[in-house]
Amino acid sequence: MSDIRKYGIYDVAIIGAGPAGLAAAAELKRSGVERVVVLDRETGAGGIPRHCGHPPFGIVEYKRVLTGPSYAKRIVATALESGVTILLKTTVTSLGTEGVLGIVSPDGPGELQAKRVLLATGTRETPRSARMVSGQRALGICNTGALQSMVYLKNRIPFKRPLVVGTEVVSFSALWTCKKAGIRPVAMIEEKSHPTVRWPIYYGARFFNVPLLLEIQIMSINGHERIESVRIRDAKGNEKEISCDGVLFTGQFTPESTLARTSHLEINQITGEPLVDDYGRCSDPNYYAAGNVLFAPVKVAGKCWQGGREAARLIVKDLAGSLK
Amino acid sequence: MINTEYTKISKSSLLADVDVAIIGGGVVGCAVARRMSLEGASVVLIEKAADILDGASKGNSAILHTGFDAPVGTLEWECVQKGYQEYLDIRESLNLPLLKSGALVAAWTEEEESRFPDIMKKGAENGVKDLRLLSRGEALALEPNLSGELRAAIAVPREFVIDPWSAPLAYLTQALANGGKALFNAAVTGGEFTGNRWLLNTARGTVRSRYVINSAGLYGDILNRDVLGSSDFTIKPRKGQFVVFDKVASKLVRSIVLPVPTKRTKGIVLFPTIFGNLMVGPTAEEQDGRDDASVDKDILNDLQAQAIKNLPGLANIPVTATYAGIRPATERPEYRITEDVDRNWITLGGIRSTGLTSALGIAGHVHTLLQRQGADFTARKNPSIPRVPNLAEHLPRDCETPGYGEIVCHCEMVTQREIKAVLEDDLMPAGSLSGLKRRTRATMGRCQGFYCSARLAELTEGKFPEPIGVGESDE
């Protein structure tokens, strides 16, 4: 039988140990909140920056330029120094009323209760399937998140000559990762007539020596075991086959709000974010949200960190009974 | 492709020397392997791919059919009836799941509604006696999220949902646990019948067998031409595309929502999956390619739009996955089960969407045919009954038992322990990444590998000929 309070009772439970969650946790402790726990399903804390192996991180928070992994270490250290408890490999499976969270961890299923819960579950890119792209399913299709975690956490590459889809900030971050990992993209393509990011980043494609093709539609992804080519069509209707061994779908961020969606909390049906009031409170006022789960489509780590700190300040007021 | 050298082959150089060789590791082949092994035959299942379920069986609707709309009195109808009942009889002992969803045949137009009396009549003829005609109000009371355009429905209470991959896995595992053998990466390229035995030439060597069962699905006709010299049917591959909605959609509808079927196809179905998703599909597209399971953006968008039209709450629910399956249709709608009695060969051809349900029934039919051909096996006493891991969302999952290491795939809650078990399985370790995915669900959830690809690449390193990682990073 699962012990109803196996995972303890806290003042504030934070779901997600990325920049927003860790900033909020540290701020709560600094403000004198006693029992603060951060829950993360991954084996390491720090969130997405753990596998963004390039600068610039930490300018707002630490007044210096760090790479993602060094930044992730810093925010974890700051939280731990403040006395925050971080529980890793701890998956929240349900959000209940009265701040009761369903938990699964290698220690067994159970529950945890907190006076306030902060959702800081971040965001992720839209995969190929949800984009309804034509063609075959084969090895070598992934998002930037998968590419970067392979390169920076496991020292592996999923392809050598991919086609890069998208021209958002993250797309250029992906080009940077490719360059460092020895991957040579065959081209970067964009459906629109101009890149999503503008100067200065978009000159990046030139810097990385990757041809940038605009107004391009993917007609089909081809390959049986592994990707062999992608058929594209340009604005004039000309089609051609680009030979490649992978397709990297970048960006089109979508909030990782599954927990909220499957719970009693209300969802903004357009963005997929949990619905919040001016204080970042969800439809159940025991729940708050901060960071990229609220910043659709996406913001940089520094903004998430600031958002987490701001949410913490509101939660402190709320716990003291001074929030309207 | 007949090689006379085979007759001179010594027993020690044979890959297998058995009573029954089954060519094709789809659901039908796996069910036949199980049944014949339980009947006391020595069996080998020969599969050209690296794992089971690599062809038609990898992309179906996962429905356990009552056969209420099957052509009455046909072999298909009989095998569906028997297969349905046997699945219910054996599923608990093999740990196979069942989602008692029930189905509604939905009429959206007057014309569709006008065909209801025929469907009711056919159901009664087919022995499915619990069909119930529902008024618009009754149907909407049962499924309040369906569109108000609904005119009427027929309830099919015993139409259920199962796991399309764990069922055949359990069948073959049971065959192997009872002394059977499986050969992968072993495409059959030819063979010779010596008067009482077959010598089959495979990509991995020679197999000797008294009887051969052709369950090669999409390649059944080619196999017969290559080995027997002719085939009395031709496979006309029929592609079906599917759209899988996020698990939050499962709150919207409980039943399988069937359209009023046409002559050619069961039509596009909206149905829950055993894994907690909601799906729409399949289309029915004739094509030449037997392995071209490509999806088409416009068709996927149409499917999604059609699903939203019938279930408006889907409008704001994200798509998790899209895929296509290929059904081995032939020139004619019925099963093409034929015997070459002189050469101890049985062909199980043209098994389409009902195959998942009928497989156990077909396996029983194969046993009957072999007995008629003079095979005399003694059923195994106290056979081994292995249990397969559960992946069904509504039943306890591995992550609910402590000590699983870590959760690798967060969307589908797949543990390190589950992945390790499939990679290191004694009887049949996963032979390919797609095999591993079907047997664990890793990367099959809403993020499609955003979070777990790196860890999965690490855990599967060196295990498969086509790995996730293609090399080391320069970083």
> pTM of the predicted model, to two decimals?
0.95
What are the DSSP calls for B39-59, one per residue? TT--EEEE-SSSSS--SGGGS
Distance CA B65, CA B59 (A): 16
Are A152 and A194 members of one domain? yes
| Closest residue of chain B to A177, computed from CA coordinates | B475
**Is A125's Cβ below 8 Å from some Cβ in B?**
yes
The answer as to whether A1 is a domain residue is: no
Are B135 and B121 members of one domain? yes
How confident is the model over B32-91, as pLDDT tens digits? 999 999 999 999 999 999 999 999 999 889 999 999 988 888 999 999 999 999 999 999
Are A120 and A13 members of one domain? yes
**Beta carbons of B407 and A91 less than 8 Å apart:** yes
Phi first, then psi, for residue B433 (nearest 5°) are -60, -40
Please list the ranges in chain A whose pLDDT falls under 70.
1-5, 199-205, 324
**Beta carbons of B446 and A258 less than 8 Å apart:** yes
Are A287 and A138 members of one domain? no
| Closest residue of chain A to B303, computed from CA coordinates | A132
For chain A, what is the domain count? Answer: 2
The answer as to whether A189 is a domain residue is: yes
The answer as to whether B63 is a domain residue is: no
pLDDT in the model for residue A54: 82
**Beta carbons of A145 and B406 less than 8 Å apart:** no
Mean pLDDT of B135-146: 98
**Beta carbons of A89 and B318 less than 8 Å apart:** no
Domain boundary among A226, A249, A272: A249
Q: How confident is the prediction for chain B on average, in pLDDT?
A: 94
For chain B, what is the domain count? Answer: 3
Domain boundary among A234, A249, A264: A249
Are A199 and A218 members of one domain? yes
> Best of B304, B407, B420, B463 to disrupt the A interface by mutation (most A CBs within 10 Å)?
B407
Domain boundary among A194, A217, A249: A249
Distance from CA of B435 to the nearest CA of A (A): 13
The answer as to whether A2 is a domain residue is: no
| Closest residue of chain A to B245, computed from CA coordinates | A130
Are A42 and A118 members of one domain? yes
Confidence of residue B262 (pLDDT cuts 50, 70, 90): confident
Token pair recorded at residue B212: 């051969």
Distance CA B441, CA B412 (A): 6
What is the domain extent for residue A209? 127-249
What is the domain extent for residue B280? 103-157+236-329
Least CB–CB distance from B297: residue in A104, A133, A160: A133
Confidence of residue B265 (pLDDT cuts 50, 70, 90): low
Of A146, A141, A121, A133, nearest to A272 by C-alpha is A121
The answer as to whether A136 is a domain residue is: yes
**Is B469's Cβ below 8 Å from some Cβ in A?**
yes
- Tell whether the model's pLDDT for residue B221 goes beyond 90: yes
Are B317 and B246 members of one domain? yes
- Tell whether the model's pLDDT for residue B346 goes beyond 50: yes
The answer as to whether A303 is a domain residue is: yes
Are B209 and B139 members of one domain? no
Are A112 and A150 members of one domain? no
> Best of A95, A105, A147, A156 to disrupt the B interface by mutation (most B CBs within 10 Å)?
A156
Are A212 and A269 members of one domain? no
**Beta carbons of B294 and A220 less than 8 Å apart:** yes
**Sequence-ordered list of residues with C-beta below 8 angstroms from that of B204, at least 6 positions apart, any chain:** B15, B183, B185, B186
**Beta carbons of A134 and B466 less than 8 Å apart:** no
**Sequence letter at residue B93:** S
**Is A181's Cβ below 8 Å from some Cβ in B?**
yes
| Closest residue of chain B to A102, computed from CA coordinates | B400
Distance CA A47, CA B304 (A): 33
The answer as to whether B98 is a domain residue is: no
Are B150 and B249 members of one domain? yes
Are A167 and A216 members of one domain? yes
Distance from CA of B449 to the nearest CA of A (A): 7
B316 CB neighbours in chain A (<8 A) are 267, 269-270
pLDDT in the model for residue B475: 66
**Is B405's Cβ below 8 Å from some Cβ in A?**
yes
**Beta carbons of A158 and B475 less than 8 Å apart:** no
The answer as to whether A4 is a domain residue is: no
The answer as to whether B138 is a domain residue is: yes
pLDDT in the model for residue B275: 97
Least CB–CB distance from A269: residue in B304, B316, B448: B316
The answer as to whether B69 is a domain residue is: no
Are B241 and B215 members of one domain? no
Of B185, B139, B174, nearest to B35 by C-alpha is B174
Are A111 and A51 members of one domain? yes
The answer as to whether B66 is a domain residue is: no
Task: Please tell me whether residue B316 adopts helix, strand or coil conformation.
Answer: helix
Cβ atoms of residues A265 and A275 within 8 Å:
yes
The answer as to whether B83 is a domain residue is: no
pLDDT in the model for residue B4: 43
- Tell whether the model's pLDDT for residue B108 goes beyond 70: yes
How confident is the model over B268-299, as pLDDT tens digits? 899 999 999 999 999 999 999 999 999 999 99
> Best of A40, A129, A170, A221 to disrupt the B interface by mutation (most B CBs within 10 Å)?
A129
List, as ranges, residues 283-322 from A with C-beta within 8 Å of B. none
Are B365 and B444 members of one domain? no
How confident is the model over A226-237, as pLDDT tens digits? 999 999 999 999
| Closest residue of chain B to A143, computed from CA coordinates | B450
pLDDT in the model for residue A176: 92
Distance CA B368, CA B362 (A): 10
Place of tokens 């969803």: B101
